Structure 1
Amino acid sequence: MPQVRVTGRVTTKSDIFSFGVILMELITGRKALDESQPEESTHLVTWFRRIQLNKELFHKAIDPVISLEEETLTSIGTVAQLAGYCCAREPHQRPDMGHAVNVISSLSELWKPSDPDSDDSYGIDLDMTLPQALKKWQAFEDGDSATSSFLASLSNTQHSIPTRPAGFAESFTSADGR
C-alpha cells in the first residue's frame, strides 16, 4: 500500500513558529503580514531576521510604545532571540514550547509595571487573584452600570452551569452510551 504524505498539518513545531511570530509582533508592533509595507518588509519574519542582525536597525524597529531603558532592551533582546529560534526555517531547529516558557518565565519578575501607583493600574494590587482584581475594578468603575453588570455576570458564571442537565437520567453511565 503506498504511503500518503500529509502536508499542511498543524504540529507542535508549527505552534512554536506561530508563537515566535507573536513575539515578533509584540516587539515591533507590526502585523505578521503587512502589505502596506515595502515589498522587502511585507513578511514580518523575513524582515525581523534581517533587522535583528543590525543592533541599530533592531532598536529602531522596536515598538515606540516600549520605553527603551537598558534593562528593557536586554529583555527584548532575549525575547527577540527566542522569537528567532521559534521561527527557524527548519522545524527540527525550533525549540519546544517548554523551552520557550522557561525563557519567558525567567523574565517575568522583571516585567512589572514601572509605576505601580499609576492611573493605569486602577489601584489594583498586581499580586491579587483575578476575582479580587475584578471586584476592585468593579468598585473603581462604580458609575458605569454596563461594566458593573458585565463583571457581575462574570463572577456568577461558575454557578450558572448545572452539574447535571434537567431531566438527565440519574442512572445513566458511560456504558449505556456504547
Structure 2
Amino acid sequence: MPPRARESPPLSRRAMPCFRFAGWEREQGKEGGEERQGPARSQSARSNSSISGSECCSLNVSSEIGGESFGRYRQLSLSQRPDTLRVFTFQELKSATRSFSRALMIGEGGFGCVYRGTIRSTLEPRRSLDVAIKQLGRKGLQGQKEWVTEVNFLGVVDHPNLVKLIGYCAEDDERGVQLLLVYEFMPHGSLADHLSTRSPRPVSWGMRLRVALDTARGLKYLHEDSEFKIIFRDLKPSNILLDENWNAKLSDFGLARLGPQEGSHVSTAVVGTIGYAAPEYIHTGRLSSKNDIWSFGVVLYELLTGRRPLDRNRPRGEQNLVEWVKPYSSDAKKFETIMDPRLEGKYSLKSAARLASLANKCLVRHARHRPKMSEVLEMVQKIVDSSDLGTPEHPLINHSKELASDEKKRKGLNLKRRIADIKAGEGRWFTWQKWTPKLVRTQ
C-alpha cells in the first residue's frame, strides 16, 4: 500500500485484481475481487481500499529469511545496513502514530496498514517531518519478502520521481517481529484518487501531461540511468503518488526486479495487476524492461480517457480499455469520443492525439518493437513542450526539500558496495537465496 494522504474519505477507485495466471477472463464474475494463485491455494479476498499490486501479488524471489526463520528479528542480518536509511525503534514509530491510531490510518491492504506520522529531523531535532509509516501485518510470508525487496531497492536508488524511503524498523517485541517502513509523506494521494469518478476535482489536462512526464522520468531512471537496471513491474495509477507540489513519484517497489541485459529477458512467475501486464509476460513469464513500457501505454490511455483498463460495469465492447480505444485512436474524426468527459473539452486535441500515438507505440504486441524508455521520455517531453500548461494546482507548504536535504547528508560510501552486492545477488545486508524461475501455465 503506497503512502498517501487521507484528508478526506478515500477517493481511489476499486483496486484492480492481482494475478498469477494468464488472462483476466478467469476473474469474470468476481467484480472488484482479488485472488492469489500459485503453489498455495488462493487466499481469501482482501480489502477493496486501494490495495496495491505488491500487497496482493506473490513475488517469486526468496529471501534468506525463510518462512519459519523470518519470524524472529535476531535472525535478520542488519550489520551491513546502508547509511542512506534511518533505523527506527518500534517505540519511536508507535509514538509517531499515536499508538497507530485509526484516526491516522491512510490506507489498509494485504501488506498491512499505512499511517500518517510525525518524526524529528535528524539534523534539526526541534523540527518535525510528516511521514507515511507502513506496518507489515504478521500474517503471510509474501509481505515479508516484499518488505525486504523495498528496502533493498529503495535503499540505493535516488531520483526526484521515486518516493523516498526514509528508514525502517525491524524489531522484536512480545507479539513477534515488527517490520515497518517509513516514507516521505505524499499529501495529494495517488493518481488513481484523482482519476476516480468520486474525486470532487478531476485532474486537469496540464496535470495529466505533467504526470505522464514525471512517470516517464522515473521509469527512465530505473531502466537506463541507475547503477543497475530495475524493472518496476507494477506500474499503475495507484502506485503513482503526488507530492505537495504535485510532482508525480513512483511508489511501492515490492514487485521490482533486477533486469537482464538489453534485448534479453528473464523468466519468472507472473505477478502484477490485471490490465497492466504485457501479453508476452502473462503468457510466457518472460520479463524485460519492455513490460514496463506496455504498462506505461495503458496508463497513458487512462490519463486520456479517465477509464480503468478493465471495467466490467461497462458494455461488453468497452470493458477492455486497450481494445476499446483501437478504432477511435487512429481516426481523427472519432478521436474525441474516447476523451475523458470530465475534462469538459479543456484540453489540446493535438497534444491528446500525439499522446495517444505514443501510447499505441508502447502497446505494440511484439515487445522488441516497443520504444525504449529514453525514447518514450523524449516523445512525452516534446508533447509537453508544445503545450501551453498553466499551474495545475496551488501547491501546499513544501517539506520535501527539507527532507531530501536531511536524508542526502546521511548518504555514505557504502552505496556502491550495496549496488555491487545486489548485482551479485549476495547482499550482505538482506540477501536472496537462489531460486528457480517458474513459468505460468497458459490456457
Counterpart residue type for residue 402 of structure 2? S
Gaps spanning 5+ residues in structure 1: where? 125-136, 139-150, 165-173
Paired residues in the alignment total 132
Shift of 1:157: 5.7
For 2:400 and 2:291, how far apart are their aligned partners in 1? 37
Identical positions, percent = 27
In the superposition, relative to structure 1, how do residues 17 and 152 fare at CA in structure 2: closer, same or farther (>3 Å)? Answer: closer
Structure 1 runs of 4+ with >4 Å offset: 151-154, 160-164
SS of match in other structure, 2:342: coil
In the superposition, relative to structure 1, how do residues 157 and 78 fare at CA in structure 2: closer, same or farther (>3 Å)? Answer: closer
For 2:349 and 2:383, how far apart are their aligned partners in 1? 12
* TM-score (normalizing by structure 1): 0.61
For 1:85 and 1:159, how far apart are their aligned partners in 2? 40
In the superposition, relative to structure 1, how do residues 88 and 156 fare at CA in structure 2: closer, same or farther (>3 Å)? Answer: closer
Q: Provide the residue aligned with 1:102 in structure 2.
A: 378
For 1:54 and 1:107, how far apart are their aligned partners in 2? 19
In the superposition, relative to structure 1, how do residues 60 and 121 fare at CA in structure 2: closer, same or farther (>3 Å)? Answer: same
* Aligned pair partner of 1:48 in 325, 328, 335: 325
1:113 aligned onto 2:360:
no
* Aligned pair partner of 1:155 in 402, 405, 408: 402
In the superposition, relative to structure 1, how do residues 113 and 87 fare at CA in structure 2: closer, same or farther (>3 Å)? Answer: same
Cα shift readout 1:67-125 (whole Å, capped 9, x = no counterpart): 647x81111111101101110112122122121111111122234434x5xxx643x6x
For 2:366 and 2:327, how far apart are their aligned partners in 1? 17
Shift of 1:152: 4.6
Q: Provide the residue aligned with 2:349 in structure 1.
A: 73
Q: Provide the residue aligned with 1:22 in structure 2.
A: 299
Q: Provide the residue aligned with 2:364 in structure 1.
A: 88
For 2:401 and 2:324, how far apart are their aligned partners in 1? 41
Gaps spanning 5+ residues in structure 2: where? 1-265, 268-283, 413-420, 422-427, 429-443
1:9 aligned onto 2:286:
yes
1:31 aligned onto 2:278:
no
For 1:99 and 1:156, how far apart are their aligned partners in 2? 32
Q: Please state which structure has a larger fraction of its residues in strand.
A: 2
For 1:8 and 1:35, how far apart are their aligned partners in 2? 26
- Choose 1 or 2 for highest CA Rg: 1
Which region of structure 1 is more displaced relative to structure 2, 154-163 or 75-84?
Answer: 154-163
Contact 2:300 2:356 in 1 (8 A): yes
For 1:67 and 1:106, how far apart are their aligned partners in 2? 24
Contact 2:310 2:321 in 1 (8 A): yes
Shift of 1:54: 3.2
In the superposition, relative to structure 1, how do residues 27 and 152 fare at CA in structure 2: closer, same or farther (>3 Å)? Answer: closer
What root-mean-square deviation, in Å, do the aligned CA atoms of Structure 1 and Structure 2 show?
A: 3.0
SS of match in other structure, 2:286: coil
Contact 2:328 2:337 in 1 (8 A): no
Contact 2:290 2:372 in 1 (8 A): yes
In the superposition, relative to structure 1, how do residues 121 and 112 fare at CA in structure 2: closer, same or farther (>3 Å)? Answer: farther
